Amino acid sequence: MSSPLLNELIEALRCLPGVGAKTAQRMAFHVLERDRAGAKKLAKKLVAAVDRIGNCTRCRTFSEDRICITCANTQRDTSLLCVVETPVDQLAVEQATGYRGHYFVLLGRLSPLDGMGPKELGIDLLATRLGEGEVRELILATNPTVEGEATAHLLGQIARAAGVRATRLAHGVPLGGELEFIDRGTLAHAFGGRQNIEH
Amino acid sequence: MSSPLLNELIEALRCLPGVGAKTAQRMAFHVLERDRAGAKKLAKKLVAAVDRIGNCTRCRTFSEDRICITCANTQRDTSLLCVVETPVDQLAVEQATGYRGHYFVLLGRLSPLDGMGPKELGIDLLATRLGEGEVRELILATNPTVEGEATAHLLGQIARAAGVRATRLAHGVPLGGELEFIDRGTLAHAFGGRQNIEH
């Protein structure tokens, strides 16, 4: 390329997920040709977010304040606590469901080989929270992967120790899925967990 | 979302081409979770590129200097001048071919409805350049679209007026293409422009 600065910008854009050499090139040329103001704004927001967003001291989700907006919201049901692996999972639950309780974000899943143990997942913080006595149901919304299930198992034990009811998201056939193409494990779960239909 | 700053970052990321709400979300969470240093660097490079990259005064491509690296390169053949629509087209030619001549970047194509006339395309600058007498072949590498062809037609007239030979990229069957799936126009061009094979 005829401009070293442009090369550096293309290289820097590759820190974004799913952005390879070709896409980074297209992005760099696009902002230079058509949206320099947008690029400036993006730079500003990147710096602000990286410098100021930390984790909520109560639920561990991303927050620029000590206590995040969700935790600080007094309209939400304090008897429900939903445990998710990451802030993006929290966002998915929040956007898809009508859930109005609180969250606890593990920022990972049990994975000893990656150095993710109970301490890294803030399990002590969660146990303290359950010990406060306000939570009546702990909803385990970790992913249905091997690590996610192991994490849910551990959390179930902690809930039991604290005398709190633990529930797990239902496994089954996804909406719009066709039985023919669904993996065996999911289909077996859906079959085993069949429910009465109401009239 | 529980963080206004995060929302603003997600919104700002959408200035990038091909980045919708969902991708922007994924990018924002990714950099916050895993690559804060990369995000800082990206912000710095965005500002540097937007503030300092202008256009080369000789060929109009992106450059942070008055004369770009390609124009300043004395190793290149000054008798060849390749006209492209955008800097990214220049990059494509540079990466795909062994071309070692110079470039002229129109920064657009003839499109009166969008306010792109000869003046906006720097045609006067190009005519001056041809008038200098060094260029012997003007390679018209505008895109094979209606506007691109119209632009090439105009440039051909200017070359003729300056007594410079004008050539156009060959149209034909793309490598790896199958005749069955190639559009009629391209196939007709390829058929009409068939060439002797050498033994």
Q: How far apart (Å, rounded) are the C-alpha atoms in residues A9 and B49?
A: 7
**DSSP per residue over A66-124, as a string?**
SS-HHHH-TTSEEEEEEEESSHHHHHHHHHHS---EEEEE-SS--BGGGTB-TTTTTHH
User: How many secondary structure helices (H) and strands (E) does chain B include?
Assistant: 8, 6
Tokens of A177: 């899925």
Mean pLDDT of chain A, nearest integer: 91
CA–CA gap between residue A58 and residue A85 (Å, rounded): 15
**Nearest-CA residue of chain A relative to B8?**
A45
Which chain B residues are Cβ-neighbours of A82 within 8 angstroms?
none
- What does the buried/exposed string (b/e) look like for A29-56 if buried means 16 or more CB atoms within 10 Å of the residue's CB? bbbbeebbebbbbbbbbbbbbbeebebb
pLDDT digits (tens, 9 = 90+) for A12-32: 999 999 999 999 999 999 999
Domains of chain B, earliest start first: 4-52 (1.10.8.420), 62-168 (3.40.1360.10)
pLDDT, tens digit, 9 for 90 and up, residues B73-130:
999 999 999 999 999 899 889 888 889 999 999 999 999 898 899 999 999 999 999 9
Instruction: Please judge whether A12 and B45 are an interchain contact, meaning their C-beta atoms are less than 8 angstroms apart.
Output: yes
CA distance B185 to B172: 9
Distance CA B92, CA B45 (A): 23
Would the CA dihedral through A16, A27, B17, B173 be positive or negative? Answer: negative
Q: List pLDDT tens digits, range A105-157.
A: 999 999 989 889 999 999 999 999 999 999 999 999 999 889 999 999 999 99
Set of chain A residues whose Cβ sits within 8 Å of the Cβ of B72:
none
The answer to whether the Cβ–Cβ distance between A4 and B44 falls below 8 Å is no
- B197, pLDDT greater than 80: no
Q: Give how far B7 is from chain A: nearest CA, Å.
A: 10
Residue pair A76/A34 in contact (Cβ under 8 Å)? The answer is no
